Structure 1
């Protein structure tokens, strides 16, 4: 389990993963070595699994974001999973229960590129695509308490 200080450190890092140990120490009321030790223990226990950078895909020309539900044709599950993993425009993918086996997020520069990406799956799966208009809730932590 995590205590209140661990949760404070995790929330602070979620807001800005580049925060210095000094800044985290000031925020938590601990010394920098104490914060460092807590972070090390959180990493060892698998609570903290990495530190990341967020980018705006639009800055790289990716103007469209889509959610794609993927239903592999009979016997094609592994092939579809392999293809999704190999297509770099797919930025997230969950294997799910229900009629669709995968729900994936992808970024493309145009509708034509969307068609090209989805055409790679057509011989192995049926797809259902929704264009993302807005993301009112960005990735966030579930409640820790």
Structure 2
């Protein structure tokens, strides 16, 4: 489902603060609170909005170290096999198949360097992994969240 401009504005407002009232969002986008609620309900029913969540500073939860791991797979490893292999790791925040030499890239949060190293070692030992390459984040410069058109 492709969102129209009004729905994108509502989604963007919710992404900035999912606790905003429908009246507040309606005032911003030029609709009544009931009209905003109907649109949000429709966006949820169609799967355009998949849920509401809270964004927490990882450091507040004890996750002080962030890194990315490139995974180079053995043979013809499927995306499903990579997904199944990585899903048990609570430290994996995101994983995607990618173009280029690597088969997948994985975002990892860990409590410290030793914890990151242990996660890296465990992922490298997965049967589908031929080799890995990792980088550590020094300072996050920009974080955006899926929220429709910026603005």
Pairwise TM-score range, normalised by the shorter structure: 0.7 to 0.9
In the alignment, does 2:112 pair up with 1:110? yes
- Report SS of the residue matched to 1:86: coil
In the alignment, does 2:138 pair up with 1:133? yes
Residue of structure 2 in register with 1:100 after alignment: 102
Instruction: Report the alpha carbon displacement of residue 34 of structure 1 after superposing the two structures with TM.
Output: 0.8
Query: TM-score, with normalisation over the residues of structure 2?
Result: 0.82
Instruction: Report the alpha carbon displacement of residue 36 of structure 1 after superposing the two structures with TM.
Output: 0.6
Q: Unaligned stretches of 5+ in structure 1? A: none
Q: 1:25-76: CA deviations, max 9, x gaps?
A: 2222322111111112222333222222111110121111001111122366
- Equivalent residues of 1:69, 1:127 under 8 A apart: yes
Coordinate RMSD, CA, aligned? 2.2
- Report SS of the residue matched to 1:87: coil
- Equivalent residues of 1:25, 1:35 under 8 A apart: yes
CA distance in 1, matches of 2:68, 2:24: 37
- Residues 26/143 of structure 1: CA separation in 2 closer, same or farther (3 Å cut): closer
- The structure, 1 or 2, with the larger RCO (C-alpha pairs under 8 Å, 6+ apart) is 2
Q: Unaligned stretches of 5+ in structure 2? A: none
